[in-house]
A and B are shown apart, each in its own frame.
Chain A
Amino acid sequence: MAVPGWLSPGVRLAAIARSARLSGSAATRQAPGAEPVGQAALYVHWPYCQKRCSYCNFNKYIPQGLDEASMRSCLTQEAQTLIRLSQVQRISSVFFGGGTPSLASPLTIAAVLETVSRCAHLAADAEITLEANPTSAGASQLAAFRALGINRLSIGIQSLDDAELGLLGRNHMAAEALGTLEEAKKLFSGRTSIDLIFGLPGQSVASWTRRLEELIQLCDDHVSLYQLTLERGTSLFKQVQQGFLPMPEQEVVAEMYEAAREMLRAADFRQYEVSNFARNGALSAHNLSYWQGSQYIGIGPGAHGRFVPRGSGDSLREARIQTLEPDSWMKEVLNFGHGTRKRTALSQLEVLEEVLVLGLRTDVGITHQGAQVLLERFGCAGLSATDPPHTAPAVLGGQSSPRDLNPDSSSKQEATACSRSPEWTGALSGHLKILHPI
């Protein structure tokens, strides 16, 4: 686990202040105790793709006779049901993921946003992200999405090498990706993110860094970097398993990772979460809320949520999963107003465990005081653990040494923070035990 460093509170505040784009939600996160109870992030799952990618094991389907009007009405119906159930007054951010949500008609996206702002307060500057694939995001569509309220775009570029794209089963070419990126940067300036995958069969450190270098020149202020994970059941998994494709050695992939971190850092990117890099404060507010343990509502087939269903009188946070298969999901939404298939009430310990696991993915990590705050506020919405008061004397697992976004001063204390040695984890769980008398 590599968490690049620990921000001193002052520096962090400065960083947040600089990122005015994080607006309302950022302001509330500064003072944990003051975070409004009635707030949640919203995830919308669009389950359709044009083509199956060889590495992807998401809940996605190739549409056959898709009735988008029904889909649209079900999404809005479920959004309304679940927001009411959660009794949140405010939706802090919206994320359209998939599948390929940029394949949905702008009408559908608009209808969902419209419902959300009818059921709860959706600030005018709230982050609203759409995932887009380079092919389906034609320029006119992108403009249409922006016009209806999308203010952040996440493009699945994955690679700039046509052969690699073929291997991944993507249905776009590198040139198309660059075109889309160019277009997006115009429309969503400073709020365009790209996804990249490395550690591909046949990839070398040199080929990876060359492509990355190219992309750093062209990209906007946010990059998500993923090492290829071979997922069971995907065609890529099978091909590697059968020995048709050679996976690069662990050492090689580790070198790719180190090289990428170094290059992104040199280009002023901050690794604010293990897989996510941002500069100029362009952090994803929506994703950050997952890692901070805030509550979120998931709608659409197979979407996950974590929120307290206050509407039904419950006070425990629940892990909720919507029905996977779109047709069954739609049926359930029509019959019951929502397609929640599984609800699991989370114990205090489980919530804390999640906060721990997720918080440690961020560069700010998790703090002693943060955990206390969590406990005090347990059961309430918005279990933010990351932002301790200014006076926080120490954070777990390392010295809270000053670090700003200047790459020069950050290198030294990385050594203390970046290896997740057993002792370190042990110390954290020890703290959890002390803090949490179960």
Chain B
Amino acid sequence: MLPLVRRIVGLWVRLPSACTAPALLCPSQPRVGRCPVEHVVFRRPYSSQKEQLDMSIFHVENIRNFSIIAHVDHGKSTLADRLLEITGTIAKTDHNKQVLDKLQVERERGITVKAQTASLFYHYKGIYYLLNLIDTPGHVDFNYEVSRSLSACQGVVLVVDANEGIQAQTMANFYLAFEAQLTIIPVINKIDLKNADPERVEKQIEKLFDISKDECIRISAKLGTSVDKVLQEVIEKIPPPSVNISDPLKALVFDSTFDHYRGVIANIALLGGEVQKGHKIVSAHTRKTYEVHEVGILTPNEQPTQKLYAGQVGYLIAGMKEVTEAQIGDTLYLHKQPVEPLPGFKSAKPMVFAGMYPIDQSEYNNLKSAIEKLTLNDSSVTVVRDSSLALGAGWRLGFLGLLHMEVFNQRLEQEYNASVILTTPTVPYKAKLSSAKLIKEYGKEEITIINPAEFPDKISVSEYLEPIVLGTILTPDEFMGKIITLCQARRAVQKDMVYIDDHRVMLKYIFPLNEIVVDFYDALKSLSSGYASFDYEDAGYQATDLVKMSILLNGNPVEELGTIVHKDKAYAVGKAICERLKDAIPRQLFEIAIQASLGSKIIARETLKAYKKDVLAKCYGGDITRKMKLLKRQAEGKKKMRKIGKVEVPKDAFLNVLKRQPEK
């Protein structure tokens, strides 16, 4: 936990008593810390005079709401740091590294998981501007969050690495912004790098995005080169929000966090009206009414203000107890003044499921409370209690995607010190039922299958469906052949292939989600020496040929190892599981046949030879006590084993097969 504490302290240290720019209404108050800017100082939240900021001085035409979007590692967060420094939002020190990435996992992985917002004040051509920077999660798993964040913006800064050029996520993010009809400011970052080739990147941008290369700004966020130009472009090019203060309140919730003392803190963008303490507001989604306790802006820490006005971005605390009450995409309005909710709201939909179990069952309650705390901040994770004969009590968690799953797991380990067993991820299949009896039983014709035990027999099913995604791969063309082979092996269907410049190709494929959830990304990275990038988006469901595969030990099925697989993949998957089991089950006094079967048909087999026991061990006076102890311990050990027929299977064997394999 120490790093977390240090991190928080660090943030406070780095943001000494917010010395920000413009002259606002601010009566006498002590100045704390060094203040490089002469104007007026914002108050700390702990000041006795709260809600000093009067946001009404920022007229709509002087507000710009924008986002920075980029592929992983192209310098989005570093650019955000520089913008915060230039505008005096944070003091300029050497330590400002990814200030907006507060989570340890974000800093370690260099990714942004949680959207962060910062209000910047910038003096340009004699006018004080309020620039609201909405930092978005960089990964497609959080696509929905990205799109919600973008809907609070009028423009984006699209950052592309001058060396790597356009990557898969650059594409995905561009299209999100493009579809939202936002102003796009292309920025080519890292021009200080030795291998930087901004001209090539400009050509790619021109070709793929149809944006003139003259519009590209070449910067180095690391060194601060031309970063102020970015701010100026934001003001010049991005339109102010088209909203009206006189309209009734209409606020978009684009993010939320949970504070143990204050409850849910909803990040909102005001698309109409104004909001202040004491207002009664209603959630369009839940229809619940709340009284507003506090509003303010994020700098990026919470800074209470008297009011928030249309066009502005800030936070709101209104006695919401759970993050599910402030779902991303929800619309808030004033009590008795309902407005048309903003379109496009949807609840987070899990795409990848995995079992999570405590390594030791005695840790169950600790893990439970850790998961509860973590899901407070991340309502997109679905949690269903589950139990496995082999692994004990646990949960089946639904995640937005693979990265989301990894991040969740890492946060559990880092922030809650919980070590868990995570099983191989699976995807939600569907079945269209044909049996009238089953339809009656389920009450619907189409059911979702998450647990293989619930897999309905083919006789009573007219069609099985599996989730598919549209995957985008960008790669230097030298790896194209290998990548196409890989995609074909994953049952993918090519949809598109475009040369984005002389050497780089963009491939689009429809993938069954199941084929990419385990190791596709690693395989892609390794066969392209790390050069190919990959991104995907949800593409619905398609009909498929699914079978349930059972694993047998000497003819007896092992319930917890049953899986749903595509018919064409059954052999390979069965063989792999049998091989892993063979390595994991200790040899016993008789031969063990490890088989994979589809119905009654055996498709793979491994044989575990009988154990040759060391019979010639000495046993005299002194050895007897030891021998008896050993026998007792063996008897205890046998109790812990699962007996399948006569075969004793230690828990570890299940673990080896069920848990996610480490990346190679």
Chain A partners chain B: yes
* A259 part of interface (Cβ distance < 8 Å): no
Tell which of B363-371, B500-508, B596-604, B617-625 binds the partner.
Answer: B617-625
| A227 and B617 within 8 A (CB) | yes
| B617 and A226 within 8 A (CB) | yes
Give the residue name and chain of the B residue nearest to A255 (CB).
B612
* CA A271 to CA B611, docked complex, whole Å: 22
- Residue from B613, B614, B616, B619 whose CB has the most chain A CB atoms within 10 Å: B616
* B5 part of interface (Cβ distance < 8 Å): no
Give the residue name and chain of the A residue nearest to B614 (CB).
A227
User: Shortest CB–CB separation between residue A254 and chain B, in angstroms?
Assistant: 4
- Number of A residues contacting the other chain (C-beta, 8 Å)? 43
* CA A43 to CA B617, docked complex, whole Å: 19
| B621 and A303 within 8 A (CB) | yes
Chain A residues with CB under 8 Å of B618's CB are: 224, 226, 275
Quick one: CB contact mask for B166-208 with A, threshold 8 Å, 1 for yes?
Answer: 0000000000000000000000000000000000000000000
* B127 part of interface (Cβ distance < 8 Å): no
* A89 part of interface (Cβ distance < 8 Å): no
- Tell me whether chain A's interface is mostly helix, strand or loop, or mixed: mixed
* CA A344 to CA B614, docked complex, whole Å: 29
Quick one: CB contact mask for B580-598 with A, threshold 8 Å, 1 for yes?
Answer: 0000000101000000000
Chain A residues with CB under 8 Å of B621's CB are: 43, 290, 296, 298, 303-306
Q: Which of B611, B613, B619 contacts A358 (CB 8 A)?
A: B619
* B631 part of interface (Cβ distance < 8 Å): yes
* CA A287 to CA B620, docked complex, whole Å: 7
| A304 and B616 within 8 A (CB) | no
| A250 and B611 within 8 A (CB) | yes
Chain B residues with CB under 8 Å of A275's CB are: 616-619
Give the residue name and chain of the B residue nearest to A297 (CB).
B621
User: Shortest CB–CB separation between residue A436 and chain B, in angstroms?
Assistant: 16
- Tell me whether chain B's interface is mostly helix, strand or loop, or mixed: loop
Give the residue name and chain of the A residue nearest to B588 (CB).
A422
Give the residue name and chain of the A residue nearest to B624 (CB).
A354
Q: Which of B616, B622, B631, B646 contacts A357 (CB 8 A)?
A: B631
| A302 and B589 within 8 A (CB) | no
Chain B residues with CB under 8 Å of A105's CB are: none
User: Shortest CB–CB separation between residue A5 and chain B, in angstroms?
Assistant: 15
Chain B residues with CB under 8 Å of A198's CB are: 616
Q: Which of A45, A97, A274, A421 contacts B615 (CB 8 A)?
A: A274
* A257 part of interface (Cβ distance < 8 Å): yes
Given contacts A250-B611, A357-B628, A421-B589, contact A302 B616 (CB under 8 A): no
* A71 part of interface (Cβ distance < 8 Å): no
| B622 and A254 within 8 A (CB) | no
Chain A residues with CB under 8 Å of B622's CB are: 43, 45, 58-59, 298, 302-304
* B373 part of interface (Cβ distance < 8 Å): no
* CA A1 to CA B619, docked complex, whole Å: 13
| A274 and B616 within 8 A (CB) | yes
Chain A residues with CB under 8 Å of B229's CB are: none
User: Shortest CB–CB separation between residue B589 and chain A, in angstroms?
Assistant: 7
* CA A1 to CA B614, docked complex, whole Å: 8
* B627 part of interface (Cβ distance < 8 Å): yes
* CA A421 to CA B613, docked complex, whole Å: 12
Interface residues of A in 386-438 (CB under 8 A from B): 419-422
- Extra A-B contacts (14), CB below 8 Å, given A43-B621, A224-B618, A321-B625: A1-B615, A2-B615, A45-B622, A198-B616, A226-B616, A251-B609, A274-B615, A287-B620, A296-B621, A302-B622, A303-B621, A304-B622, A304-B624, A353-B628
Ordered nearest first, which 7 A-B pairs have the shortest CB separation?
A254-B612, A250-B612, A227-B616, A304-B622, A227-B614, A275-B616, A304-B621
Query: Measuring CB to CB, which residues of chain A are less than 8 angstroms from any residue of chain B?
Result: 1-2, 43, 45, 58-59, 97, 198-199, 224-227, 229, 250-251, 253-254, 257, 274-275, 287, 290-291, 296, 298, 302-306, 319, 321, 350, 353-354, 357-358, 361, 419-422
Pick 19 A–B contacts, CB within 8 A, sort by A.
A1-B613, A97-B620, A226-B617, A227-B615, A229-B617, A250-B587, A253-B614, A257-B615, A274-B615, A274-B617, A275-B619, A287-B620, A290-B620, A290-B621, A302-B622, A303-B622, A304-B625, A305-B621, A422-B646
